[in-house]
Structure 1
Amino acid sequence: MANKTFKQASSIHGRNPQHLIENVIRQRVYESAFWKEQCFALTAETIIDKAVEMQSIGGVYGNARPLPFMCLLLKLLQLQPEREIIFEYLQAEEFKYLRALAAMYTRLCFKSFEVFDILEPLLQDYRKLRLRNNSGYHITHMDQFIDELLTEERVCDIILPRLTRRDVLEEVEGLPKRKSPLDIGDENEDRENDDESEDEDADRFVSKSPSPASDNDERFVSRSPSGSPPPDDKDRFVSRSPSPPSDS
């Protein structure tokens, strides 16, 4: 009973959800100590604690030994939690391995339209992830892992269900066109440049209409000798002191 899918679970892509993982790997998971000791009686809520404790992603390593990532993925397929719960897993930004696990489950179980719509925003997550395979540990990133889920046929030793091409989904099902962060950055930069050019044009604008003269303004009179008007005789200064007698 511990290895059987819940009766309430529905088929995914026309088959038992657990069968999305190949039989060889699935049998290895059933025989592993982690499955028997840590995954027994897990629920959609308690599986979060196990996912938070994960230190890497991957399928099998060594002599086809399954990683906890693969065991918990199979447990999710067995439980088939509600979609809202998977969305909560994806929104838990502080737990990156829980998000990676939910992204893998989404890729396996959801329709093509939903896969693109749900996973593409995660391409903005650049955090590091540890990937383990037969050659040891490697460093990858969340956006690289998501890109592989959207473009590759096999990820973490699992053959992924066929995904409808994005351009077909855009034409047939109305999937919005994907905007690259570079395109968004260029649009914002062009918008800023347009605003700056408008500000510069406003500063360079000079009104050609004459400004009205104020009645209180004083007329400018040049004080230079060449430009000063001849003084009037009445306005001339006349000294009242007698002039000294001339010797002649």
Structure 2
Amino acid sequence: MATHRADARQFLDERGSANIALTPNGLNPSTILEKAVRERIVESFFFKDQCFGVNEADIVDRVVRHVRFVGGTYGSAQKPTPFLCLAFKLLQLAPSDAILQEYLGFGGDKFKYLRALALFYIRLTRTAPDVYRTLEPYLEDRRKLRRKARAGTSLTYVDQFVDDLLTKDRVCATSLWQMGKREMYEDLDQLEPRVSPLGDIEDLLDDDDEDEENKDKNGDDEDDVEMLNGGGDSDDGARNSDDDEGEVKEDSERRNRRSSSEDRRRSEDRERSESRSRRRSRSRGEES
């Protein structure tokens, strides 16, 4: 009597055999994810309940219903996310490029997590030129994504997630295979030079230099105009300063006059008081 085994266990038991089709980048799909992560995925309730016996079309339904964040494992128990479980299922299904384009295009415009899943799978299985060629256009996708990890949930964006796939060595609890730099594939004529949406960087730098030169010229012209118009202002300033000095002198003279008059009054008061005291002393002497 033949025994029935789950497709995940059969997929894992056949790793390394000649019957498994390698991915376009030459990797074994059953060993792309780390062993500990694969075992957690197979033992998880979500994978057993939602990923058994599904096809490429069912993947869309699973993403729409259950995927609310990207990530690898989360929590103290390091539970695999639905996102990572579905990525492992895609490694089993090995969808064609046409199906992946549907995930990215029409489906990705409506469901951003479906696009993120397809981009993650392409980074794992396609060659470096295809990865650059496919992922770079989505650096302009500004939609928000939730990311869940051991530390908790955080906010990211589709373009940031794509940039992580192109530049980092580990994303979603998965070690990414090492790609060469883009310049190397450009030198080998496997990739066209990438044109930024902002334009050519050299043209932008030239425009910045021209703007700075124009600012400098305008600043010099304004200084010249101020110098030409500044003669009258300087005379007025000199006149104003002379007037101020005259006012200061008058104030000081007034203060001096007041102080001198006060001194005179004080001296007169003293003389009067002294004369009175003398008179009183004389009158007392005569009476005695």
Normalising by structure 1, report the TM-score.
Answer: 0.71
| Alignment of 1:10 onto 2:8 | no
Q: Which stretches of structure 1, 4 residues or more, deviate above 6 A after TM superposition?
A: 184-187
With 7-16 and 72-81 compared, the bigger mean Cα shift is at 7-16
Question: Which one of the candidate residues 98, 102, 114 is aligned to 1:98?
Answer: 114
Paired residue for 2:48?
A: 36
C-alpha separation in 1, matches of 2:56 and 2:20 = 13
- Pair 118,14 (structure 1): closer, same or farther in 2 beyond 3 Å: closer
The DSSP-based 3-state class of the residue aligned with 2:199 is helix
CA displacement at 1:15 relative to structure 2: 4.0
Q: Where do 1:113-192 residues align within 5 Å?
A: 113-183=129-199
C-alpha separation in 1, matches of 2:101 and 2:180 = 22
C-alpha separation in 2, matches of 1:177 and 1:72 = 34
| Alignment of 1:110 onto 2:110 | no
> What does the per-residue CA deviation read over 1:124-169, in whole Å, with 9 as the maximum and x for residues that have no partner?
1010000000111100000000001000000111000111210000
Paired residue for 2:71?
A: 58
Q: 1:9, 1:79 within 8 Å by CA — same for their partners in 2?
A: no
> What does the per-residue CA deviation read over 1:37-66, in whole Å, with 9 as the maximum and x for residues that have no partner?
010111001111011221000000111100
Given residue 59 of structure 1, which amino acid in structure 2 is its aligned partner?
G
Paired residue for 1:239?
A: none
CA displacement at 1:172 relative to structure 2: 0.5
Q: 2:129, 2:190 within 8 Å by CA — same for their partners in 1?
A: no
Aligned length: 188
Given residue 69 of structure 2, which amino acid in structure 1 is its aligned partner?
S
Question: Which one of the candidate residues 35, 40, 47 is aligned to 1:23?
Answer: 35
Given residue 21 of structure 1, which amino acid in structure 2 is its aligned partner?
L
Q: 1:9, 1:80 within 8 Å by CA — same for their partners in 2?
A: no
| Structure with more of its chain in helix, by fraction | 2
Gaps of 5+ in 1: 191-248
Given residue 36 of structure 1, which amino acid in structure 2 is its aligned partner?
K
Given residue 10 of structure 1, which amino acid in structure 2 is its aligned partner?
A
> What does the per-residue CA deviation read over 1:63-102, in whole Å, with 9 as the maximum and x for residues that have no partner?
1100000000000001101111011101121110000000
Cα RMSD (Å): 2.0
C-alpha separation in 2, matches of 1:174 and 1:14 = 18
Given residue 135 of structure 2, which amino acid in structure 1 is its aligned partner?
L
> What does the per-residue CA deviation read over 1:22-45, in whole Å, with 9 as the maximum and x for residues that have no partner?
000000000000000010111001
Given residue 127 of structure 1, which amino acid in structure 2 is its aligned partner?
R
C-alpha separation in 1, matches of 2:198 and 2:98 = 31
C-alpha separation in 2, matches of 1:175 and 1:145 = 22
Given residue 164 of structure 1, which amino acid in structure 2 is its aligned partner?
G
C-alpha separation in 2, matches of 1:68 and 1:176 = 36
Q: 2:27, 2:125 within 8 Å by CA — same for their partners in 1?
A: no
Q: 2:124, 2:176 within 8 Å by CA — same for their partners in 1?
A: yes
Normalising by structure 2, report the TM-score.
Answer: 0.62
C-alpha separation in 2, matches of 1:174 and 1:86 = 21
- Pair 154,21 (structure 1): closer, same or farther in 2 beyond 3 Å: same
